[in-house]
Amino acid sequence: MIPPAIIRRLCNPKLEASAFTPTKFDTSDDKAWFGNALLSFLAKDCPPSAFSNRFYCRLSNCFGHIAHYNKHQFYQDFFLDDSSKIEFLRQTLQWPFFGDPNFTYSDVERAVSARIKHSGLLEIYEARFKTQAEIEERAQFARLKAKFHPTPDNKPQSNPATDAAPPPLKQGELFDLAP
């Protein structure tokens, strides 16, 4: 869950069309719509329901994301877990804003990147990822400790099928069992 303060920094105030230069194919309203849609998508923690075709088509042509095959692959690569969201945010923040705003969305990319940076969203995801990794590592450590250093408190569960089996034979014992 994204903290409310981060959501406010991402989404308020709305990006205004007057701040963007129209292109030959898109109006400044189109540019403002995309910027606000991306910020809202991130503020909602990237739900699949907000990843519309219109939104995907524009996002796949911004921030250097031109090498993905389709909407589903793009979503899987960048929005399924915190690790991939961190990668998306890092790429977005490192993008150098190529092109003239008369022909590209570089002005929107610059505005969105500034909002993301100012909001602290990347730091939230990094902290959340680090916390989850630590929880998983501590659970794994406890399992391994119980397995390899059992004590009366943390004795591993016994498996009756393997406990009842005779010990494996040693090489010398193979010939001793002959009739």
Q: What are phi and psi of 116, to 5 degrees?
A: -60, -45
- pLDDT bin (cut points 50, 70, 90) of residue 59 is very high
- pLDDT bin (cut points 50, 70, 90) of residue 151 is confident
Q: What is the pLDDT of residue 161?
A: 56
* CA angle, 18 then 98 then 61, to 5°: 80
Residues 6 or more apart whose Cβ sits within 8 Å of residue 54: none
Q: What is the mean pLDDT of residues 141-153?
A: 85
Contacts of the segment 27-32: beta carbons below 8 A, 24+ positions apart: 31/105, 31/107, 31/108, 32/108
pTM listed for this prediction: 0.78
- Predicted confidence (pLDDT) at residue 166 exceeds the cutoff of 90: no
